[in-house]
Each structure stands twice: as C-alpha cells, then as structure tokens.
Amino acid sequence: MPQEGTAQLVQNLPRFHDPNLIVGTEGFSDAGVYRLREDLFIVQSLDFFPPLVDDPFVFGQIAAANSLSDVYAMGAQPTTALNIVGFPDNELELSILAEILRGGCDRVAAAGAVIVGGHTVRDTEIKYGLSVTGVVQPQYLLTNQRAQPGDALVLTKALGTGFVTTANKAGRCPDESFAVACASMIQLNVSGRDAAREFQANASTDVTGFGLVGHTGEMAEASGVTAVLEVARLPILPGAETLVQPGNRTRANRSNREFAQDRLRIEGQPDELRMEFMFDPQTSGGLLISVPPQRADDLVAYARHAGAGAACIVGSIISRQAAQIIIRP
C-alpha cells in the first residue's frame, strides 16, 4: 500500500491508553513497545510479503531477515518468532514451503531467537514472514522520534535491491549483481543495532518499502526536524546503477516519489541517476541511524568491523525547515 494511504489508515485508528504502552501506532515507529517491568520492555513487529527471488530457501532467509530488522531498529534483541504463511498447496509442492520455512529458521537461529509456531492459510500466491517479539532494557530503546539538529545520518546497507530484484525477474540482471543483492538482504541488522547502542545514537529506523526518502521523512516528521541527504554519499549495490531503467522501476518506486514530492526540496544539481536510489523500495534494507556528529565516524567504523561493510554517513539533521527533507549533491 502507498505510504500516504498507510499513514492515513493508521492515524485514524482508535488509540489505546495504557500507561505501559511505550510506543504505539503514532510516529510511524518500526515496532510496538510495551513495558513488562521498569527494567524490561518487549518489542513486537510483523511483516510478510510475496517472493522476490526464485530460490525458496533464499526467499525464506530474506523474508525473515526483513522481519527481524524492525526489532533491531528499536535497539532490541529478538527472542521469539511466529511464521506467517500464505501458500497455494493445491498448486505447488509442499517441499517448496519446507524450503521457505528452513530459510526462515536459518535467520531466526542466526539472530539468537527461536520459532515457537505460526499459522498457514491457503492463498493464491506464496507469502511469508514473521511476527517477531524482542526484549530491550529501557536505556537501549531506540525510536525514530529523537533525531536532533546537528546529528549525522548513517546508513548501514547499500541501496538498490528494488532495481536489482525487478531486473532479475525480467532476466535483465547479471548474476553477480543479483548474488550481491541477495547477500545484503539476507544480512541481519544486528551490527547496525550494536553500533547504534555503542555510540548512543539518538534515533534509528530501518529502510524498507518506502525507500530511503520515505523512511527518512518519517524520522524527520516524528522528530520535528529536517533531514539533509547527500546524493554523492549514497552507498549503492555493485552493478545496480546500470539497472536504473524505466522497466526496472516498480509501482512502489513511483508512489514513493509522489508521496515525497511535496515534502522535499532539491538544492543544486544532484546526479539524477543516483538520486533514483532514494526512492527505490528496499527489502531488508539497512538501518538509518541519527547520531551526534562527534561519534558518527566511530559508529561507521564499528558497524563496518561488525559486518556492515557498506555503512557510511549519508546526510545530517538540521532544525525544522519548510521541507521535511533536503536533497543536495
């Protein structure tokens, strides 16, 4: 669903008033947070989608990593997960589903969590994901609501998964580019979470279907600030720049651009091709972390050492302007 439609639906839902509800539907947060004790919060999220790769095991890995990412974005540790499955068992062999679930198990185990069950329904197409519960101590909780003017913005994964997977479906993607994109989507965001904790980041969110511009805009709106993104700094998946063609741009790419249009200002003359990656919908993308500038370089170095090799500074936070996001060369 387009970002604007989702936002309107969520904002119009009835609000729950519970003193232990720390983070609910307001502020476009990545997950909900509920206080169990003064020293322990639970974090809950859910995500699922149709396959974007043909290999069922790899699809299971990607979908699980994507679902786990919301919990990492909140600074939490995943603990349990439930499988969510739609599967046309009257058309496809159950061995395909077994491989999808095996891929999900692989990523959940790598996260140090456990799968405790799930639910499957017959559907006309395959869908898979997880409902994830995590835990976090209050001092480690991160949201997208506390970015501060002066902060640097760090992105922990390269952009371009939307272009790559769309091109691959049409047979237009080199095998090497596709393999690199899959490796990125499978990678857990634990390194970004640990870096954000270690260097006391102010805010965090994960970059997924609304693209870098969409999720940056959510952080800016929730925090009451303006975000500046620098096109030349963007990390891009190897080979993805050759795939920025109209035929490889999805409907989500267009809706991300349309939603952001009235909320951004473009300064100077940014590279048009590279700027397209800001609107590209990501699957299991990186964390976008807002951190005081004096700690940004150390956070990047830590994240890279921990496995997030594409981590880099992509912009900054300034006091609120007329535009939510400013794009500069």
The residues facing 265 across adjacent strands are 326
pLDDT of residue 218: 95
pLDDT of residue 26: 75
pLDDT of residue 13: 76
Nearest Cα to Cα of residue 108 among 88, 84, 139, 126: 84
Strand ranges for 11-113 from DSSP E: 21-23, 32-37, 40-49, 77-87
Given the structure tokens 């068992």, which residue do they identify? 89
pLDDT of residue 231: 98
pLDDT of residue 14: 80
Buried b or exposed e, range 96-118, using 16+ CB within 10 angstroms: bbebbbebbbbbbebbebebeeb
Distance CA 318, CA 75 (A): 23
Given the structure tokens 């409902």, which residue do they identify? 131
- Can you list the residues of the chain whose pLDDT is less than 70? 1-11, 27
Q: Kindly report, residue by residue over 74-115, the tens digit of the pLDDT.
A: 999 999 999 999 999 999 999 999 999 999 999 999 999 999
Cα-only R_g, the chain = 19
* C-alpha torsion sign, points 21, 140, 110, 175: positive
pLDDT of residue 77: 98
Could you say which DSSP state residue 284 is in? S
Distance CA 71, CA 87 (A): 26
Distance CA 290, CA 228 (A): 12
Residues 6+ apart with CB under 8 A from 54: none
Distance CA 130, CA 82 (A): 5
